[in-house]
Chain A
Amino acid sequence: EVQLLESGGDLVQPGGSLRLSCAASGFTFSIYAMTWVRQAPGKGLEWVSTIGTNDDTYYADSVKGRFTISRDNSRNTLYLQVNGLRAEDTAVYFCAKSLVVDGRGYFDYWGQGTLVTVSS
């Protein structure tokens, strides 16, 4: 059974940093791209960042230069280093596993999310 368990969310002051983690199990982590998606309170879903199997990375413009996605295949864990946090980064952060079909990856499994609150 595929399981994704996020952790690391917290209340942090503007300008602060956090490292979010997503522990994966139930599948061969190293052969799948992984993604972070966030959802601000009462709002819709927003793609944040994706890391491919070759460590190729992609970022939304809103987080580029402040967030860094990485993975540790030996620990089956996905990370998101978030720096320079702003109030608008307040959200639940979900990790998602990508399954490639016809050359493109869609999100077939999601974790339960971890809440990041940015406030003074």
Chain B
Amino acid sequence: DIQMTQSPSSLSASVGDRVTITCRASQGITNYLAWFQQKPGKAPKSLIYGASSLQSGVPSRFSGSGSGTDFTLTISSLQPEDFATYYCQQYISYPLTFGGGTKIEI
């Protein structure tokens, strides 16, 4: 199974900050990496697929990069609605696996 490791598990930030979350796969997954945002009590929301492609409707302050085993999600200027938990997920092979999540707090 491919293990997905996110860091940090949580971070404190302020509105306007640039925030970067990292995700590492235990083996190469080329670019089959997705990022999701989840707010408390809500369903996850797709942000990025293919490591760097923005899902339709997602603000351009979100960006993704990486290939192989190391990936990043960057929020260029944190907005109040961005305080949430973020998950990475590999979809190159079964079992599909998620990272443990990164909670962004004020």
Contact = CB atoms under 8 A, between A and B. Distances in A.
Interface of A: 35, 37, 44-47, 50, 58, 60-61, 94, 99, 101-102, 104-113
A70 to B, nearest CB: 18
Interface pairs A-B: 5 shortest CB-CB = A47-B96, A110-B43, A106-B49, A45-B98, A106-B34
B89 A45 contact: yes
Interface of B: 31-32, 34, 36, 38, 42-46, 49-50, 53, 55, 87, 89, 91-92, 94-101
Main SS of chain B's interface residues? loop
Nearest to B97: A47
Contact of A94 (B31, B43, B50): B43
A60 B50 CA distance: 23
A110 B31 CA distance: 22
B101 A44 contact: yes
B62 to A, nearest CB: 15
A66 B26 CA distance: 28
